[in-house]
Structure 1
Amino acid sequence: MNESFGHVGLGLRREMLDDILNCAPNTVDFYEVAPENWMTLGGRFAKQFAQLTEQHDFVCHGLSLSLGSSDPLDTKFIADLKTFFKQHNVKCYSEHLSYCSGNGHMYDLMPIPFTEEAVKHTAKRIAEVQERLDRRIAVENVSYYAAPGQEMSELDFTLAVLQEADCDLLLDINNIYVNSINHSYDAMSFLAAMPTERIVYGHIAGHYEEAKDLLVDTHGADVCDPVWALLQKAYEVHGLFPTLLERDFNIPPLNLLLTEVQQIHQAQALHQKLQRGIA
């Protein structure tokens, strides 16, 4: 069962290690890492990471489990994950609702066909992962740029997988916004349809505007105003949930990243004030 953690998080990158070890920001309640990037590290990085996981709450967001693939699940990798999670007291594990392998690793997150057959196939694999890890996992609604073999909507596919697998949800606010622009659907309708009881935490990030009708989910820019507004709507609809800032490229100094972390705090505080009727 997933353990509880704080309200506001930050994606940890190696270049942040020294700053955080020297003076951990008190505005960050938990950190997220891709386990693939840390499981095999030794030396200084491994010692620094262990020091941080002893002092702070951590969650893991995977990159290579390839839940939608037709390739067999990598059971050795899953066993290694289980050991890593126990070693570092990882509070929650999530993966992308996508795949990244097919007769070899493709090093990219590919969209699962939105079909009934894919729902059953993916849900069965998620259930097996949960059984092998002996914990619930969360799947993330992903950004996508094409929908090969589509028989149902992204919304219906996502809801069906969550129900069939009986797993949790990592709610990515930026991905909803990006997909709503790229595929011309209503972001609020998608957001409102997500099952509140399955949300374990959320992501917020920036993207790149290739064109007015083509956004690319890069995690390489500041969060834009429409995505901040959608986060506020998410709290209105689903209540407060832990929310984490992702930044993978063009990473600014930590003090600048923390201004966006503070914006998450402000959004949560505003929601609480509105709930109390004093705003």
Structure 2
Amino acid sequence: MQHSGLSGAGLGLRRSLLGEIADSSHAGADFLEVAPENWINIGGRFGRQFRALTERYTFACHGLSLNLGGLAPLDQRLLRDIKCFLDEHQISVYSEHLSACADDGQLYDLMPVPFSEFNVLRIAERINQVEDALQRPLIIENVSAYACLPGDMDETAFVNAVLQEADCQLLLDVNNVLVNSINFGTDAEQFIRAMPSARIAYMHIAGHHDAQPGLKIDSHGAPVIDPVWQLLQLAYAEHGVRPTLLERDFNFPPIAELYAELGQIREMQTAVAAPRILRA
């Protein structure tokens, strides 16, 4: 399958980072990622800065409210708005969470879905509907969770089955794999190894919050910790280097510290890629 067209180490663009990144003559990230819901119809100074960045950087979009796993009909107005946004800024990469976030109204959270064959078929059909509406491939992300709903499959089998049934690609969120392994006592390394290499478009890493022993919250508000770096190294070793994005949503350090984490991603990518080149 074709991969994302992204490369290197990327950074999630948040409003708090916009000025620093826009004003910098140094491109610290190889690509940027935004949630389209946070930028659709943004004008004025923010809109001008955003437009300037889309002319300097390759962009990906990572949606928050498509509700792939929900039971309510897909929001056709949202799909039209997203397509217009992607077209306007010439963004071809769009990903969403393999979760539910709405019913009668927006839940403003990413809720788990039961891992079942019924949901595999149902969600795969919704993915295909999204692709038809956006006229682009949809990349799905494995999500962090804090409750496990009754189902007849485990997460590994479920994610693989959805990818196969929908014939789509995966955004492998390495931090989410670690979070779930702690919260549910699963094997993070086994999950990474079980993902289909040919379907991995790109990856995410992030920091998280230790709420209590045995419970991690995917907060995106702290530096990436060593076990996540180790899982990322494993993912590269198992599947090959993929574009990898650092997510940070709050508690922002100086931009140089975020760029240093991107530098660490690049060092790992180079270390894994170099032996492959030598063997070629």
1:32 corresponding residue in structure 2 = 33
Whichever residue aligns with residue 273 of structure 1, its letter is A
1:27, distance to aligned residue in structure 2 (A)? 3.5
1:218, distance to aligned residue in structure 2 (A)? 0.4
1:17 corresponding residue in structure 2 = 18
1:172 corresponding residue in structure 2 = 173
1:115–1:157 CA contact under 8 A, matched in 2: yes
Counterpart mapping for 1:1-279 below 5 A: 4-276=5-277
1:63, distance to aligned residue in structure 2 (A)? 0.2
1:6–1:29 CA contact under 8 A, matched in 2: yes
Distance 1:82 1:259, change over 3 A: same
2:4–2:202 CA contact under 8 A, matched in 1: no
1:26, distance to aligned residue in structure 2 (A)? 2.9
1:277, distance to aligned residue in structure 2 (A)? 6.1
The DSSP-based 3-state class of the residue aligned with 2:150 is coil
Q: Root-mean-square deviation (CA), in Å?
A: 1.5
1:2, distance to aligned residue in structure 2 (A)? 7.0
1:182, distance to aligned residue in structure 2 (A)? 1.1
1:17, distance to aligned residue in structure 2 (A)? 1.5
1:205–1:246 CA contact under 8 A, matched in 2: yes
> Where does the alignment leave 5 or more consecutive residues of structure 2 unmatched?
none
1:35–1:81 CA contact under 8 A, matched in 2: yes
1:256, distance to aligned residue in structure 2 (A)? 1.2
The DSSP-based 3-state class of the residue aligned with 1:51 is helix
1:2–1:91 CA contact under 8 A, matched in 2: no
Give the total of aligned pairs: 278
1:2–1:136 CA contact under 8 A, matched in 2: no
The DSSP-based 3-state class of the residue aligned with 2:92 is strand
Distance 2:183 2:148 in 1: 11
TM-score by length of 1: 0.96
Distance 1:251 1:142, change over 3 A: same
- Comparing 26-35 with 2-11, greater Cα deviation is found at 2-11
Distance 1:87 1:14 in 2: 19
Distance 2:92 2:28 in 1: 19
Distance 1:182 1:80 in 2: 36
Distance 1:2 1:41, change over 3 A: farther
Distance 2:275 2:217 in 1: 33
Deviations 1:140-174 (A, max 9, x none): 00001111222210111111111111111000000
Whichever residue aligns with residue 204 of structure 1, its letter is I
Distance 1:80 1:213 in 2: 40
Deviations 1:46-85 (A, max 9, x none): 1111111011100000000000111111112111111110
Distance 2:278 2:217 in 1: 38
The DSSP-based 3-state class of the residue aligned with 2:20 is helix
The DSSP-based 3-state class of the residue aligned with 1:82 is helix
Whichever residue aligns with residue 82 of structure 2, its letter is L
Whichever residue aligns with residue 270 of structure 1, its letter is A
Distance 2:55 2:140 in 1: 26
Identity, % of aligned positions = 50
Distance 1:233 1:24, change over 3 A: farther
